[in-house]
Structure 1
Amino acid sequence: MDYYAGLDVSMNETHICVVERDGCVVLEAKASSTPEAIAAVLETAPACAKIVLETGRMAPMLFHGLAALGLPVICIESRQAYQALKSLATHKTDRNDARGLAHLARTGFYKPVHVKSLPAHAARALIIARKKLVGQRVTLENQIRGLAVVFGVRLPRGLSPRFTEQVIQASQGIAGLSGAMQGLLAARKAVLEAVVAIDRDMRLLARSSQACQRLMTIPGVGQLTALAFVATIDAPERFRRSRDVGAYLGLVPRRFQSGEIDYVGSISKCGDRRVRTLLYEAANVMLTRYRGALALKQWALGIAQRSTMRKARVALARRMAIIMHAMLRHGTTFQAA
């Protein structure tokens, strides 16, 4: 007889439920949210054919930890699981959720998702940290500008070498303003140093990755875009067709159809927003700064003539994502023809 398990994961504890093929509960227990503790509890029950858990912050660590222990773990889409679990129990409790996940595993009514590898999550952590730090730098510079403009001082661009010098000159002789500017400049300097350190780590990762090196042969694709794309795709073979990557990243038009209504709107904006933004920026660089003869660029400029430049950038970003996935899958470099 086959047995199925459901794991309702929280930060500290995980509720475990094991059911048999007919739906009878065999085991209900709690364990610490670690792969070893969960595996120890599951060893007290019959061997399970499927062990299901939802996507979440703890999912990558538990999924790879349980898989390394030889357990048949499956990660499922949390939004679909939420809608299904609402119909299985009147009260939403961790115990009922674990039981509902076990029944989903038993019936097969779930959508499995790919769990990215831990190295891919590490690369994404660098990219997310850099984005947050750059945002903090811009916030600090805007605050400095706001304080300086009260005294009639207009500052240059934040990354200009004269920025810090003019800020110090503008605040000299004004006790309160001088102290505020010194504090903001010190925080800005620390943020800039952190960004430089992250850029150094990202440069090393991109240089050591053959996949990133191949992607960077595309005009407009730099180390940040290449690293973000590789970390997001993770396993190119999980996409049956390269053109599916456009939908995965939210670069295809949204569609709503019901009866006589058939509406096609703007892009769906699903998936990783940061990668989508980087691809859009890479497409803009190819269209506006790259001076070489490129068939891909001419194709996008043709769209711009028939429609708008914005739609041309989106279409080129989608086409670039398809080409980049094909390059990752087949191990090829970009062909300019």
Structure 2
Amino acid sequence: MDYYAGLDVSLEKTHICVLDRDGTVIHEVTASSSAEAISAALAKAPACTRVVFETGRMAPMLYHGLAELGVPVVCVESRQAYQALKTLATHKTDRNDARGLAQLARTGFFKPVHVKSLPAHAVRALIIARKKLVGQRVTLENQIRGLAVVFGVRLPRGLSPAFVDQVIAMSEGIAGLSGAMRGLMAARHAVLGAIAAIDADMKKLVRASDACRRLMTIPGVGQLTALAFTAAIDDPGRFRRSRDLGAYLGLVPRRYQSGEIDYVGGISKVGDRRVRTLLYESANVMLTRYKGDLKLKDWALAIARRSTMRKARIALARRLAIIMHSMLRHGTDFRPA
């Protein structure tokens, strides 16, 4: 007989429910949220054909850990699971969620998702950390600029060392302001050092990656875009068609159809927001700064003449995603023609 299990995962505890083919509860237990503890708890029940849990912060670690231990684990989309679990139980409890996930495993009514490798998550963490630090730098610079305006000093958007010295000299002798400016400038200097260290690490990763170097041959694609794209795709073979990348990254129009209603709106904006933004910026660089002859650029400019420049950037970003995936999948170089 086949058996199926559902895991309701939290940071500390995981509720486990095992069902048989007829939907009868065979085994229920709570274990700590680690691959070893969950595997040991499942070993006390009959061998399961399928073990299902939802996407979440613990998903990468548990998925790869359980897979290494030989557990037939499947990660499912949390939004789909949420809608299904609402119909299976009146009260939302961890125990009921585990039972509902086990029912999804038994019926096969779920959509499995690809769990990225841990190295891909590590690269993504580096990119997220850089984005957060850049935001902190901008916040500090805006604060310095705002305090300086109160005393009649207008600073430009880009704070160079010369302007930093001007700010410190301006605040000397003013009780309170001098300490505030020195503290803000020290924090900004520390943030700039951290950003420079992350940029150096990213440069090393790009140099060690043949895929990133190939992607950077595309006009407008830099090391940050190449690194973020390869980390988001992880395994190019999981996409059967390159044109699926547009929907995966939220660069296709959202559509709502019901009876006589058929509405096509803006892009869906699902998926990795950071990669979508970087592709949009790359498209903008190609359209506005690249001076060479390129059919891809001419194609996007023709869209801009028929419609708007914004739609041309979106269309070009979608086309770039398709081209970059094809390059990763086939190991080919960029062909300008």
- Report deviation, 1:139: 0.3
> Which residue of 1 is the match for residue 239 of structure 2?
239
Please say if residues 141 and 159 of structure 2, whose CA atoms lie closer than 8 Å, have aligned partners that are also in contact: no
Please say if residues 156 and 162 of structure 1, whose CA atoms lie closer than 8 Å, have aligned partners that are also in contact: no
Please say if residues 280 and 313 of structure 2, whose CA atoms lie closer than 8 Å, have aligned partners that are also in contact: yes
Secondary structure in structure 2 of the residue aligned to 1:7: strand
- Report deviation, 1:156: 2.4
Secondary structure in structure 2 of the residue aligned to 1:19: strand
TM-score normalised to structure 2 length:
0.99
Secondary structure in structure 2 of the residue aligned to 1:8: strand
> Which residue of 2 is the match for residue 182 of structure 1?
182
Looking at structure 1, the residues matched to 163 and 289 of structure 2 have their Cα atoms a distance apart, in angstroms, of 27
Is residue 251 of structure 1 aligned with residue 254 of structure 2? no
Unaligned runs of 5+ in 2: none
- Report deviation, 1:191: 0.6
Letter of the 1:96 counterpart: N
Looking at structure 2, the residues matched to 254 and 41 of structure 1 have their Cα atoms a distance apart, in angstroms, of 43
Indicate the RMSD between aligned Cα atoms, in angstroms.
0.8
Looking at structure 1, the residues matched to 213 and 48 of structure 2 have their Cα atoms a distance apart, in angstroms, of 43
Secondary structure in structure 1 of the residue aligned to 2:88: coil
Letter of the 1:141 counterpart: E
Looking at structure 1, the residues matched to 138 and 206 of structure 2 have their Cα atoms a distance apart, in angstroms, of 26
Is residue 63 of structure 1 aligned with residue 63 of structure 2? yes
Looking at structure 1, the residues matched to 167 and 264 of structure 2 have their Cα atoms a distance apart, in angstroms, of 50
Letter of the 2:220 counterpart: G
> Which residue of 2 is the match for residue 114 of structure 1?
114
Secondary structure in structure 1 of the residue aligned to 2:14: strand
> Which residue of 2 is the match for residue 157 of structure 1?
157
Looking at structure 2, the residues matched to 263 and 22 of structure 1 have their Cα atoms a distance apart, in angstroms, of 42
- Report deviation, 1:159: 4.3
Offset from partner CA, 1:39-96 (integer Å, 9 cap, x none): 0011111110000010000010000000011110000001111111111111111111
Letter of the 1:131 counterpart: K
- Report deviation, 1:158: 2.9
Percentage of pairs with the same residue: 80
- Report deviation, 1:259: 1.3
Unaligned runs of 5+ in 1: none
Offset from partner CA, 1:258-299 (integer Å, 9 cap, x none): 111111111111111110100000001111111111000010
Looking at structure 2, the residues matched to 161 and 299 of structure 1 have their Cα atoms a distance apart, in angstroms, of 43
Task: Write out aligned runs for 1:20-35 (5 A).
Answer: 20-35=20-35
Looking at structure 1, the residues matched to 170 and 300 of structure 2 have their Cα atoms a distance apart, in angstroms, of 47
Please say if residues 155 and 166 of structure 1, whose CA atoms lie closer than 8 Å, have aligned partners that are also in contact: no
- Report deviation, 1:163: 2.8
Letter of the 1:330 counterpart: H
Please say if residues 8 and 14 of structure 2, whose CA atoms lie closer than 8 Å, have aligned partners that are also in contact: yes
Is residue 200 of structure 1 aligned with residue 188 of structure 2? no
Task: Write out aligned runs for 1:32-47 (5 A).
Answer: 32-47=32-47
- Report deviation, 1:308: 1.0
Task: Write out aligned runs for 1:1-337 (5 A).
Answer: 1-337=1-337
- Report deviation, 1:257: 1.1
Offset from partner CA, 1:105-134 (integer Å, 9 cap, x none): 000011100000000000000000000000
Letter of the 2:285 counterpart: V
TM-score normalised to structure 1 length:
0.99
- Report deviation, 1:334: 0.3
Secondary structure in structure 1 of the residue aligned to 2:334: coil
Secondary structure in structure 2 of the residue aligned to 1:192: helix
Letter of the 1:180 counterpart: A
Offset from partner CA, 1:291-310 (integer Å, 9 cap, x none): 11100001011111111111
Please say if residues 157 and 163 of structure 1, whose CA atoms lie closer than 8 Å, have aligned partners that are also in contact: no
Secondary structure in structure 2 of the residue aligned to 1:87: helix
Secondary structure in structure 2 of the residue aligned to 1:175: coil
Looking at structure 1, the residues matched to 113 and 314 of structure 2 have their Cα atoms a distance apart, in angstroms, of 26
Looking at structure 1, the residues matched to 170 and 250 of structure 2 have their Cα atoms a distance apart, in angstroms, of 46
Offset from partner CA, 1:312-335 (integer Å, 9 cap, x none): 111100000000000000000101
